[in-house]
């Protein structure tokens, strides 16, 4: 098992929304024109668009300080350009009342060997849930709120960050859209896609360093063996709990309850060697460490503003953009914010039953479920056996489920 | 649901406190000036732009408001600017006789036309595509969803009610938020607008209520004036010109609301060829990336031109009859309070100087029950075994030339129509027939008793 990254490089494609005065997003043409101007002003930032979002694409870098300084220079230019037009930056994992979630995708290279990439993809699966918790930043999404700290992850990023499939190096095709993705067709990286759009440049760079450290660790120490069924089921449950509770979540691992806080503290430890390769250390991750210590996420920051704005998504979008004029807003919030308590354990079966109504199609359950697909079938069979739900079929043969108390 | 955008002119601190989570909040007295609507695609009434007023708000500290900041007002804050002081919200309610009145039903600062009769009350917004915004029967419950303003792709806002669109102009087209001219009569109003696309096409929409009819009727007329540049009978090459024509397909997009506590007990029943198709509303956990269709679309070749949106448990229902058949798209959306339905006509070729009519009737079930009238049906197409619980003939005049067999109903005529008895869950036992009619559209005043096999039908005229 040889080391895979030759050399270790970092980059990102970081989506962000730009709002007009009303709080509405730019349309695609306006976003294209804005990206054109940014490419002229900051050629190395390779700014593009993803539909009507601006996407900052940082090319492969080998040094944390360079990543930070370039990212800050880009942000400074972006803010000046937007100010000239009366527009505002909204960096979050989702817009409160418009569609399409917003992601911050982290790329770690340089890898050119399919076996290595598949091994890293498999090994990173265990870290997805803690990273989801750490990056949670979409608690208000399509006018919805209250159930998740990252609706983006809960919705599988509208099929742009779907729960991870385990790769078998000899029998895996290139695919797109998983939480962790092999990018050997268009690049030479492994991509972490599960992260919500990030609010602060400093935090984004810290997350990139942490991810690089973790992938380095996996490449060095993980043989890429697929997890057993029980471990995979834990990963899926943890992903759901992370989406619901952020850093206050409690995960399940090996039959025990493990707080997200503890799991992330351990991850900082194992990421150190890799971070050294890009000249970063745990000391550079001040924001991340304070978040873990307080169990506070960017989503909690958003929710604080949302509460003040009377839970009105339109008021909130405008005011959040006003708050985000301050580039250090999240760090400032974090310093003054109280530590959050550990969240109670959410019952996934109760959640599943609640989602079943009359003739609810299996496909709908599969989308919103906290269970791995095989686990879902087992739980549904148990619910049918207990008489809690009944099973039927659509005319196309798709299974449907009806809650017994509704008929 | 209407929100204004304001600029902060002055912000005075008025205290600070820690909220229950321990975060510091500051309270501020604000002087603000209205810039316009908070949603760019919706115009605010001109009279409110530039108005100044005061309000008090909390802010998370240290992010205090500054002069020049923009804020979005919520509906109750906006209402203070939009609705004259002392004005009361108007509830939709039936009236003794059919009539049209004017009121700001939804507090958006614009006047709606309110159509009412002893059984129903509906509101039409001339300023937003002449949409049928609301429709209430005797119970007073609105049968259309009024979604929280939801913006799609920065261009289109889901406003609720029933709105027209033309398939040829793409989505969302220009009708949905366009201002229409308006001409009212005693129990009806006509709205008109020349469309930019397709060029030369004008849309006229007549909305009316009648004393005995438990619903609101709409007739949309699309007329084509021709391309302005064409002159003479020959083109530049001396060849005879092709007929100056344009194709149009009218659609109605509506978000119905018959919800009870369980979303999936809402169903839409569509008589398709030979069967009654039931589409159940499953509010999915989350959305999907696509712009115009969300999660689940179902398409039907439709038989008799009606559908029923109803709640199985609550018994609420809205019946919609429409004078165009062939294709219906039933699109169940994830982000509405209830199912969204898109009805789409087949394509009609409009020759210069000609027009086509499309009709629709919206009938809440409680209005039907209250009326005690067994109004009946008549739809396009061949008898197919589908049923229609009640009746109007709503026809495109462009279809008149089609060789339709069977009955020839004329104004003032009297015919007996053979009925088919059928169980329809929304309406109980229904007696129905399919009648290819000849006139552009007209109501059939009918009476029928349960168990009857024939219907005496008088065509008014």
Q: Measured between beta carbons, which residues in chain B are less than 8 angstroms from residue A27?
A: 153-155
Interatomic CA distance for residues A255 and A345, integer angstroms: 14
Which residues in chain B have Cβ-Cβ distances shorter than 8 Å to A337? 22-23
The CATH classification number of A9-336 equals 3.30.590.20
Q: What are phi and psi of B253, to 5 degrees?
A: -110, 125
Q: Minimal Cα distance from B288: which residue of A? A: A158
**Nearest residue of B to residue A28 by CA position?**
B153
Give the one of B39, B286, B312 whose C-beta lies nearest to A22's C-beta: B39
Q: Is the CB of B38 less than 8 angstroms away from the CB of A22?
A: yes
A21 and B70: CB-CB below 8 Å?
yes
- pLDDT, residue A239, reads 96
CA distance B97 to B209: 9
Q: Which uninterrupted H or E stretch holds A301?
A: helix A298-308
Token pair belonging to A317: 């979008």
C-beta separation of B296 from A364 below 8 A: no
Report the topology of domain B99-229+240-373. Answer: Beta-galactosidase; Chain A, domain 5 (2.70.98)
| Topology (CATH level 3) of domain A348-406 | Arc Repressor Mutant, subunit A (1.10.10)
CA distance A102 to A324: 16
Phi (first) and psi of residue A71, to 5 degrees? -65, -40
CB contact under 8 A, B152 and A98: yes
Q: Buried b / exposed e across A173-205, counting CB within 10 Å, b at 16+?
A: eeeeebbbbbbbeebbbbbbbbbbbbbbbbbbb
Pinpoint the residues of chain B covered by CATH 2.70.98.10: 99-229+240-373
Beta-carbon contacts of A394 under 8 Å, excluding residues fewer than 6 positions away, are A359, A361, A400
State which residue of chain A sits closest to B334, comparing Cα positions: A142
Q: What is the 3-state secondary structure (H, E, C) of A72-106?
A: HHHHHHHHHHHHHHCCEEECCCCCCCECCCCEEEE
H-run or E-run covering A276: helix A272-277
Model pLDDT, residue A329: 98
Regions in chain A scoring below 50 on pLDDT: none
Which residues touch A69 (CB under 8 Å, ≥6 apart)? none
Cα–Cα dist A184/A193, whole Å: 15
Q: Of A109, A108, A103, which is closest to residue A135 (Cα–Cα)? A: A103
A342 to chain B nearest CA, in Å?
Answer: 15
What's the 3-state SS for A158-170? HHCCECCCCCCHH
Q: Which residues of chain B have pLDDT under 50?
A: 289-295, 304, 325, 372-415, 421-461
Of B62, B65, B335, the CB nearest to A332: B62
State the SS3 of chain B: CCCEEEEEEEEEEEEEEECCCCCEEEEEEEEEEEEEECCCCCCCCHHHCCCEEEEEEEEECCCCCCCCCEEECCHHHHHHHHCCCCCCCCCCCCCCCCEEEEECCCCCCCCEEEEECCCCEEEEECCCCCEEEEEECCCCCECECCCCCEEECCCEEECCCEEEEEHHHCCCCCCCCCCCEEEECCCEEEEEEECCCCCCEEEEEEEECCCCCCCEEEEEEEEECCCCCCCCCECCCCCECCCCEEEECEEEEEEECCCCCCHHHEEEEEEECCEEEEEECCCCCCCCCCCCCCCEEEEEEECCCEEEEEECCCCCEEEEEECCCEEEEEEECCCCCCCEEEEECCCEEEECCCEEEEEEEEEEHHHHHHHCCCCCCCCCCCCCCCCCCCCCEECCHHHCCCCCCCCCCCCCCEEEEECEEEEECCCEEEEECCCCCCCCEECEEEECCCCCCEEEEEECC
Question: CB B153 to CB A315 under 8 A?
Answer: no
Q: Does A85 touch chain B (CB under 8 A)?
A: no
User: How many angstroms away from the CA of A96 is the closest CA of chain B?
Assistant: 10
From the CA of B289, how many Å to the nearest CA of chain A?
5
How near does any CA of chain A get to the CA of B36, in Å?
9
pLDDT at residue number B332: 59
Are B21 and A98 inside 8 Å of each other by CB? Answer: no
For chain A, the domains span: 9-336, 348-406
Count CB neighbours of A343 within 10 A: 18
**Cβ distance of A155 and B3 shorter than 8 Å:** no
A window 141-170, beta carbon within 8 A of B: 142-143, 151, 154-156, 158-160
Say yes or no for a CB contact (<8 Å) between A357 and B265: yes
Contact A304 B23 (CB under 8 A): yes
**CA B389, CA B395: separation in Å to the nearest integer?**
18
| Chain A positions in Cβ-Cβ contact with residue B5 (cut-off 8 Å) | 21-22, 318
Give me the residues of A, 279-308, that contact B with CB < 8 A.
304-305, 307-308
Residue recorded with tokens 């602060």:
A200
In chain A, which residue's Cα lies nearest the Cα of B2? A314
Residues of chain A in contact with residue B71, where contact means CB-CB under 8 angstroms, are: 315, 318-319, 322
- Nearest alpha-carbon partner for B336 in B406, B266, B279, B388: B266
SS3 A336: helix
**Where does residue A351 rank: exposed (0-12), middle (13-18), buried (19+ CB within 10 A)?**
middle
Cβ distance of B154 and A52 shorter than 8 Å: yes
CB contact under 8 A, A154 and B37: no
- Which residue in A215, A211, A194, A213 sits closest to A203, CA to CA? A211
DSSP H or E stretch at residue A356? none
Smallest Cβ–Cβ distance between A318 and the set B72, B153, B282 belongs to B72
Contacts of A314 in chain B (CB under 8 A): 3, 38-39, 72, 74, 149
Q: Do B154 and A98 touch (CB under 8 A)?
A: yes
Q: What DSSP character marks residue A192?
A: E
How does DSSP classify residue A358? S
CA distances from A402 to A336, A406, B48, B157, B306 (A): 47, 7, 51, 34, 28
Q: Do A318 and B148 touch (CB under 8 A)?
A: no
Say whether A143 and B63 touch across the interface (CB within 8 A). Answer: no
């Amino acid at each position: 098992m040889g080391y895979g990254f030759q050399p270790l490089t970092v980059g990102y494609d970081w989506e962000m929304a730009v709002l007009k005065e009303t709080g509405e997003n730019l349309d695609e043409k306006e976003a294209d024109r804005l990206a054109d101007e940014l490419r002229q002003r900051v050629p190395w930032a390779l700014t593009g668009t993803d539909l009507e979002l601006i996407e900052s694409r940082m090319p492969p870098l080998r040094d944390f300080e360079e990543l930070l300084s370039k990212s800050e220079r880009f942000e400074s230019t972006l803010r000046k350009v937007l100010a000239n037009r009366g527009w505002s930056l909204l960096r979050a994992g989702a817009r409160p009342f418009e569609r399409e979630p917003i992601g911050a995708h982290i790329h770690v290279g340089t890898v050119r060997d399919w076996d290595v990439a598949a091994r890293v993809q498999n090994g990173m699966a265990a870290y997805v849930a803690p990273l989801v918790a750490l990056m949670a930043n979409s608690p208000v999404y399509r006018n919805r709120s209250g159930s998740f700290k990252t609706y983006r992850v809960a919705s599988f990023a509208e099929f742009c960050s779907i729960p991870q499939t385990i790769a078998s190096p000899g029998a895996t095709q290139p695919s797109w859209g998983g939480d962790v993705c092999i990018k050997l067709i268009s690049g030479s990286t492994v991509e972490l896609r599960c992260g919500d759009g990030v609010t602060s440049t400093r935090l984004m760079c810290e997350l990139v360093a942490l991810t690089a450290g973790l992938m380095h660790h996996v490449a060095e120490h993980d043989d890429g063996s697929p997890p057993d069924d029980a471990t995979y089921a834990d990963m899926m449950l943890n992903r759901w709990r992370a989406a619901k509770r952020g850093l206050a979540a409690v995960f399940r691992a090996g039959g025990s309850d493990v707080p997200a806080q503890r799991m992330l503290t351990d991850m900082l430890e194992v990421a150190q060697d890799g971070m050294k390769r890009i000249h970063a250390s745990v000391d550079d991750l001040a924001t991340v460490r304070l978040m873990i210590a307080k169990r506070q996420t960017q989503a909690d920051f958003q929710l604080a503003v949302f509460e003040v704005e009377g839970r009105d998504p339109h008021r909130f979008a405008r005011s959040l953009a006003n708050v985000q004029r301050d580039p250090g807003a999240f760090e400032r919030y974090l310093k003054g914010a109280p530590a959050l308590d550990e969240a109670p354990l959410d019952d996934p079966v109760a959640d599943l039953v609640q989602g079943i109504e009359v003739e609810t199609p299996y496909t709908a359950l599969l989308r919103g479920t906290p269970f791995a697909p095989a686990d879902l079938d087992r739980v549904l069979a148990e619910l049918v056996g207990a008489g809690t739900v009944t099973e039927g079929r659509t005319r196309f043969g798709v299974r449907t489920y009806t809650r017994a108390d509704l008929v | 649901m209407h929100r204004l955008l304001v600029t902060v002119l002055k912000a005075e601190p008025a205290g600070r406190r820690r909220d229950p989570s321990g975060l510091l909040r500051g309270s501020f007295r604000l002087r603000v000036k209205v810039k316009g609507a908070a949603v760019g695609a919706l115009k605010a009434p001109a009279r409110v732009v530039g108005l100044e007023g005061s309000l008090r708000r909390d802010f998370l500290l240290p992010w205090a408001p500054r002069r020049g900041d923009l804020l979005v007002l919520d509906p109750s804050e906006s209402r203070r600017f939009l609705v004259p002081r002392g004005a009361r919200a108007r509830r939709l309610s039936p009236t003794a006789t059919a009539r049209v009145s004017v009121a700001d039903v939804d507090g958006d600062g614009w006047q709606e036309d309110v159509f009412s009769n002893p059984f129903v009350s509906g509101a039409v917004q001339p300023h937003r595509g002449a949409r049928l915004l609301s429709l209430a029967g005797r119970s007073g419950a609105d049968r259309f969803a009024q979604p929280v303003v939801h913006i799609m792709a920065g261009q289109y806002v889901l406003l609720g009610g029933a709105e027209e669109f033309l398939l040829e102009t793409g989505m969302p087209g220009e009708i949905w938020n366009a201002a229409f001219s308006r001409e009212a009569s005693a129990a009806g109003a006509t709205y008109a607008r020349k469309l930019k696309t397709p060029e030369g096409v004008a849309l006229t929409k007549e909305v009316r209520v009648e004393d005995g009819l438990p619903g609101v009727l709409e007739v949309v007329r699309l007329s084509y004036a021709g391309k302005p540049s064409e002159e003479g009978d020959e083109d530049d090459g001396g060849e005879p010109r092709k007929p100056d024509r344009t194709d149009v397909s009218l659609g109605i997009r509506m978000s119905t609301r018959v919800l009870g506590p369980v979303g999936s007990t809402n169903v839409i029943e569509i008589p398709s060829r030979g069967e009654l198709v039931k589409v159940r509303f499953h509010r999915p956990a989350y959305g999907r990336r696509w712009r115009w269709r969300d999660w689940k679309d179902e398409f039907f070749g439709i038989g008799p031109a009606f559908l029923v949106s109803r709640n199985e448990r609550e018994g609420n229902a809205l019946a919609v009859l429409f004078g165009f058949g062939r294709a219906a798209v039933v699109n169940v959306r994830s982000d509405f309070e209830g199912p969204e339905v898109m009805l789409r006509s087949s394509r009609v070729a409009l020759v210069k100087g000609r027009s086509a009519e499309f009709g629709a009737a919206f009938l809440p079930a409680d209005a039907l029950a209250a009326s005690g009238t067994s109004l009946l049906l008549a739809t396009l197409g061949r008898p197919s075994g589908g049923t229609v619980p009640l009746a109007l003939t709503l026809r495109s005049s462009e279809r008149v030339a089609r060789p339709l067999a069977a009955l020839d109903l004329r104004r003032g005529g009297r015919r007996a129509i053979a009925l088919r008895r059928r169980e329809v869950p929304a309406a109980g036992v229904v007696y129905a027939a399919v009648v290819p009619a000849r006139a552009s559209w007209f109501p059939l005043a009918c009476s029928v008793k349960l168990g009857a096999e024939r219907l005496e039908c008088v065509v008014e005229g």
